[in-house]
Structure formats: structure tokens, C-alpha cells
Chains A and B, each alone.
Chain A
Amino acid sequence: MRQPFKNNQGFTLMELLVAMTVFLLVVGLSSGVFLQTLRSQRTITNISESMNNVTITLEQIAREMRTGFDFENPSSDRIGFRDGYGNYVAYALVSLGENGSGPHAIGRCSEEICGTEDDFKPVTSSNVEIDGLRFVLKNGRVPLITVAAEVSIDSKRDEKEASITLQTSVSSRIIDKNG
């Protein structure tokens, strides 16, 4: 008569403890790696999304300014001008929340009068934080406008303060021939 379970004494407490320890170790390690992966993936997405947003916005601003004229003397974070069709356009740093709170975005206003922040429509995504927007106008018969946008690339988890500044300049193609 075969007795299949005769030699099987079951697990001892030691064996069980060791097995559980090893199991916990392995699960802990892999979940740690998994969490870290998620975290860095979020950082990477954040960086690339921020850069994409700011680059395309700078490109749009540059395109509009290249055929623009009548540039206003910019205050630090706002500039207004007439685009190639003669319509008034203004760009400024606006906050997306109430009363200057919340994340900041680059805003564009195409009304004839851009008095308040509500006239500006955000052109960057709400989950991209623009830390600063600056304009410099070298006026003359050939205006040169310099735009610098500072975008935050913080990963929300580790609270690291980091930002990247993108800067470009545009020389208007509409030149003042008669001075």
C-alpha cells in the first residue's frame, strides 16, 4: 500500500519564516522599483510636455511677431503689437486661478483692448507651470524682440525646484523704410 504523505512532515516554522522573509524581500524590492518607475515616468512626461508646450508657444509668438509692427514698449511680462493683418495682439503671463493664484500660463489676447487678465486666453496647457515670461524690445526702424520663457520642470513628488529658460529673438520683417 502506498502512503504518499507518510514522508511529508509539512513545513517547519523556520522554513515558513525564511520563505516569508524571502517573499517579502522580493515583493518589497519589486514594488519599490515599480513605484520609482512610475515616479520617473511622471517626471519625464512632465518635462517633455512642458518643453513641447513652451516651444510651440514661442514658435507661435515668433511667427506672429515676424510679420508684426507697432510694437509697444513691453512691460516685463507683457507685450502688444499689430500682427500682419493689422489686428492688435498681446501676449502676457497670466494666472489660471482666481486673483493671481494657481499655475501660470502664457496668455494671448486678440481683442482691441486687453485691459484685464480675463481678456487673455491661455495658450499653454494648465498642467504646465510657466515661472516667468519676459520681453525685451530693441526698437528702431527694424524692431528686434527677445522673448524668454521660464518653464518649471518640477516633479511634484520630490519638490525639487528646477526650471529651464527658453529664449529666442525675432526680427520683424516689416521695416520702417521712411524712418
Chain B
Amino acid sequence: MAKLNWIKKQQGQLLIEAMVAVSLMLVGLLGIFGVLSRSLGLSRVAADQFVAVNLASEGIEIAKNILDKNFLAVGASWNAGFFDGEEYYVDYRSEGLGDCTTDELYFTGQGFYECNPVGNTKSKFKRVLEVAIKADGNMVAVKSTVNWTARGGLNSDVTVEDHFYNWRKP
């Protein structure tokens, strides 16, 4: 009789012990899951950054292209169309600064990022070119910033800056 009572007392505790152990384990596993999903999310952020850096450097190249075209154009100043403190939107089809009316970049069916919204799907990237004129008009500083909102609502941006000089004399 005494022996039976002893077993009866212990049974409840055993179950509780097991439950505590299992829940502790669950907490640990949940932690691992959290780290995992965070690392997956971060790798997607890194992928977005790759895209943004390329788009930002594209902005610089477009500005360089316009400057070189200015140099070749007869009678135009080398930095025609570049004004100090202005912000411009461009895409790869732009002939001059400010050919785009929006900073949003749209993804076309052909697979390019451009600023034309018609028939294209909006991408998460936005690009702004900031122009500063320095050194008595002999230097143009172009700052190309791409910003985007990641899936978690986190705002990120990438800025690339380049300086162009009036070294080419006709």
C-alpha cells in the first residue's frame, strides 16, 4: 500500500518534468528558427544591395555620357543642363538630365529598369541624381542615390558619388 502511494505521488512530477524539458527544447529550437529566417532575410537584403549598387553606378555613367555628349555638341558648355543643387531623375534612355519625371524605376517586360510607368511594373527602387557644381564651374559632382524599402519595411539606400572635371579642351 505504501509502495503504491509512492508511485502515485511521483507520476505527476514526472509528467511536469517531461513537459518542462520539452518546452525548454522548443524554446531553443524556436531560437534557431529565428536565426535562420533572419539570415535568409538578410541574404535577400544583400541581394537588393547588389542590384542597388549597380543601379546607382548606372546613374553616374548616364551623367558621364551626357557630359561627354555636351563636349561634342557644337557651342554647348561642357556642363550644359547640370545646375548646382538640383536633383534629377534619369534612366538609361535619357538624352539629358531630367528626362524622367519620377524617381521610381519601373521594370519592363523586356527586363530593364526604366522610369516609364506605362505598361511596366513598379520596382522597389528609386534613383535620384544630386548635382553640385564646384571649382568655378570646372567640376561637377554627381551623387547617385538609390533607395528602396525592403520587405520588412526597412528603408535602405546606396549612394555612389563621382566628380567630373572640365579637362577636355576642344
Looking across the interface, which residue of chain B has its beta carbon closest to that of A58? B54
Contact of A51 with B72 in the complex, beta carbons under 8 Å:
no
Residues 143-171 of A, flagged 1 when their CB comes within 8 A of B and 0 if not, give 01010101001000000000011111111
Contact of A36 with B36 in the complex, beta carbons under 8 Å:
yes
| Residue in contact with A144 in the complex, picked from B36, B51, B65, CB distance below 8 Å | B65
Q: Does B161 make an interface contact (CB < 8 A)?
A: no
Most buried by A among B46, B55, B112: B112
Majority-rule SS of A interface residues: mixed
Contact of B54 with A55 in the complex, beta carbons under 8 Å:
yes
Q: How many A-B residue pairs have CB under 8 A?
A: 108
Contact of A47 with B47 in the complex, beta carbons under 8 Å:
yes
| Residue in contact with B58 in the complex, picked from A55, A168, A179, CB distance below 8 Å | A168
Looking across the interface, which residue of chain B has its beta carbon closest to that of A29? B29
Instruction: State the interface size on chain B (CB cutoff 8 A).
Output: 37
Given A51-B50, A169-B62, A175-B72, residue A134 in contact with residue B33 (CB < 8 A): no
Tell me, in angstroms, the Cα distance from A25 to B32 when the chains sit together.
Answer: 17
Contact of B92 with A132 in the complex, beta carbons under 8 Å:
no
Q: Does B82 make an interface contact (CB < 8 A)?
A: no
Instruction: State the interface size on chain A (CB cutoff 8 A).
Output: 43
Contact of A132 with B111 in the complex, beta carbons under 8 Å:
yes
In chain A, positions 93-123 with a C-beta closer than 8 Å to chain B are: none
Task: Report the minimum CB–CB distance from A169 to chain B (whole Å).
Answer: 4
Contact of A44 with B39 in the complex, beta carbons under 8 Å:
yes
Q: Does B25 make an interface contact (CB < 8 A)?
A: yes
Q: Does B64 make an interface contact (CB < 8 A)?
A: yes
Given A58-B54, A166-B50, residue A148 in contact with residue B65 (CB < 8 A): no
Q: Does B84 make an interface contact (CB < 8 A)?
A: no
Contact of A166 with B54 in the complex, beta carbons under 8 Å:
yes
Looking across the interface, which residue of chain A has its beta carbon closest to that of B51? A166
Tell me, in angstroms, the Cα distance from A156 to B45 when the chains sit together.
Answer: 20
Given A169-B62, A171-B68, residue A47 in contact with residue B43 (CB < 8 A): yes
On A, residues with C-beta under 8 Å from B are 7, 18, 22, 25-26, 29-30, 33, 36-37, 40, 43-44, 47-48, 51, 54-55, 58, 132, 134, 136, 138, 140-142, 144, 146, 148, 150, 153, 164-171, 175-177, 179
